[in-house]
Amino acid sequence: MNDVVDIAILGAGAVGQLICHQLVTAGMNVGFIGRNALRPSQQTLSFTPLVSANNCQQQPQEIHYSVPIFAADALDNIRLVIVCVKAYQVLDALAPLLKHLPSQCHILLLHNGMGPHLALAPLIDGQAGGRGLSLGTTSQGVLRQTRWQIKQTGQGLTQFGHFAGLPLDEHYRRALLHAIPGSEWVDAIIPCLWQKLAVNATINPLTAIHNCNNGTLAQPKFYDTISNILDELVNVATHDGISLDRHYVQERVYRVIELTAANYSSMHQDIAHQRRTEIDQINGYICERAKAHNLSAPANTKVWGLVKQLEAEHHRGIS
């Protein structure tokens, strides 16, 4: 058996650790890139699986396992980097690593929101040796309990697709689909990212602004705001050449509200913990694309502004 670690995850947040767990469980050799690591080390991770619906009496067993952490300049064997940092960190985290990654190493972005792929594609496309960029989105629910301890809170669809440069090698494609439950490879990933953007552009800012869980948004008083955000999003996407089914998009948002009713969105948690949010890459992205097409997007502009205000209040220490 080949024990060389050839897959690296950049970003050890909740999603990064979940993907790591799923790949390790499927027998793949995975490690994390330690952005400030000077020498290689090992880290023990803990994972609590989902309680299965027909076995809710039994407490799920916590699983512990160890994975390598690489120094950023020791990445010669890496053939696939899965980027799980927040959308606003992608460029700063990845750009300095590109010179240390082998020329045939493929990059896969997996984060909420949109935008970084546009800035990254020219850096990947022009590389000698044949680098490639794929994009992905996941709706799996996961909660980080302590620094290296996560708990899966929900199943969900994960979609991957090619975006620029050379396609991901078939071996890695198959491995990802085998390892990640409910995952699929799609021919056109950008429409899938817009659909996920619709979920995040409604649930995330509204739960943060109204300090509520996802399920609260099923109340009729939120209907018009959700509708307006989605009208604008679908219109902007159309001008970007992406045709979305308006009815289906809204149905999907309400399905997620129902399925994750008890959860607090990632943006709600970011505001609650006084962290920066991904609002610029979610509603901000919609507003920027609207501006590029000379369209107005008042509902998205409003929630973008309100969340920026919440971020600024925390920054100034007001709560």
- Calpha distance 41→84 (Å, rounded): 20
Contact at 8 Å (CB) between 189 and 163?
A: yes
Cβ contact 209:310 at 8 Å = yes
Rounded Cα gap, residues 132 and 253, in angstroms: 31
List the interface residues with ligand KPL, window 177-216 (CB under 6 A): 199-200, 203-204, 214
Q: Smaller CB distance to ligand KPL: residue 165 or 263? A: 263
CB of 2 to ligand KPL, least distance (A): 35
Q: Which of 89, 183, 266, 283 binds ligand KPL (CB under 6 A)?
A: 266
Per-residue contact string for residues 49-78; x = within reach of ligand KPL by CB under 6 A: ------------------------------
Q: Is 151 a catalytic residue?
A: no
Which of the stretches 13-21, 225-233, 256-264, 306-314 binds ligand KPL when contact is defined by CB under 6 A? 256-264
Rounded distance between C-alpha atoms, residue 227 and residue 223, angstroms:
6
Compute the least distance from the CB of residue 280 to ligand KPL, in Å: 14
Q: What string of DSSP letters covers 119-143?
A: HHHHHHHT-TT--EEEEEEE--EEE
Cβ burial 196-233 (10 Å sphere, 16+ → b, else e)? bbbbbbbbbbbbbbbebbbeebeeeebeebbebbbbbb
CB of 57 to ligand KPL, least distance (A): 27
Torsion (CA) 31, 32, 34, 35 in degrees, nearest 10? 130
Applying CB under 6 A, which of residues 89, 140, 260, 281 lies at the interface with ligand KPL?
260
Q: Which is nearer to ligand KPL, 178 or 308 (CB)?
A: 308
- Asked if residues 198 and 249 have their Cβ atoms less than 8 Å apart, the reply is yes
The answer to the question of residue 277 lying near ligand KPL (CB under 6 A) is no
With CB under 6 A as the contact rule, the residue among 75, 133, 256, 286 that binds ligand KPL is 256
Active site residues per annotation: 196
Chain residues in the site for ligand KPL (CB under 6 A)? 112, 139, 199-200, 203-204, 214, 256, 260, 263, 265-266
